[in-house]
Amino acid sequence: MATVELTAETFEKTVTSNGIVLVDFWAEWCGPCKRFAPVFEEASEKHPDVTFGKIDTEAEQQLAAAAQITSIPTLMAFRDSILVFSQPGALPAPALDGIIEQIKGLDMDDVKAQLAAAQEGETAQS
C-alpha cells in the first residue's frame, strides 16, 4: 500500500477509521525527511495492513502546530485512534519495522486501562 497525503480535512477520519496509522510529518526543504521518505514508503509496501500517511508541515502548518511538531521528520503512530508512539528523527528501516511490530503487538485493552488510570489521576489532582 502506498503512502497517502494527509490534510487537516482528512487527518481525523484517517486516524479514526483505520486500525493502525503511521504518520510522517515532513517538509520539502528537510534533508533528513528526504532520506526517511524511501524507508517510510518501503515499509508501507511491506505492511499493507497499516495505513501510512504523510503530512507536509509547510502546507499543513495548523495541523503540525496542533500535533505539537517541533522537529521534523516526526513519526507518530495511532492504534484504534490512540496515539501510541511519537518520536522525532529519521529511522533506519530495521528500527521502523521493529516499531511497527511492537505497535501490532500492543494489548490495547491494557493501553486503554492505563489511559483511563492516568486520566483519573489527573482529575483527582485538579
30 catalytically annotated:
yes
Q: What is the dihedral of CA 56, 61, 66, 70, to 10 degrees?
A: 80
Residue type, 106: L
The pLDDT value given to residue 124: 67
Determine the CATH number of domain 4-125.
3.40.30.10
Domain ranges of the chain: 4-125
Residue 22 grid cell: 503511521
Task: Identify the active-site residue in 15, 20, 22, 30.
Answer: 30
118 catalytically annotated:
no
Task: Identify the active-site residue in 21, 23, 33, 99.
Answer: 33
Write the CB contacts of 88 (distance below 8 Å, at least 6 apart in sequence).
70, 71, 72, 73, 74, 75
Residue-level pLDDT, tens digit, the chain, 126 residues: 578 999 999 999 999 988 999 999 999 999 999 999 999 999 999 999 999 999 999 999 999 999 999 999 999 999 999 999 999 999 999 999 999 999 999 998 998 888 888 888 877 665
How many CA atoms lie less than 13 Å away from 85 in the CB half-sphere? Answer: 23
User: Three-state SS for 78?
Assistant: strand
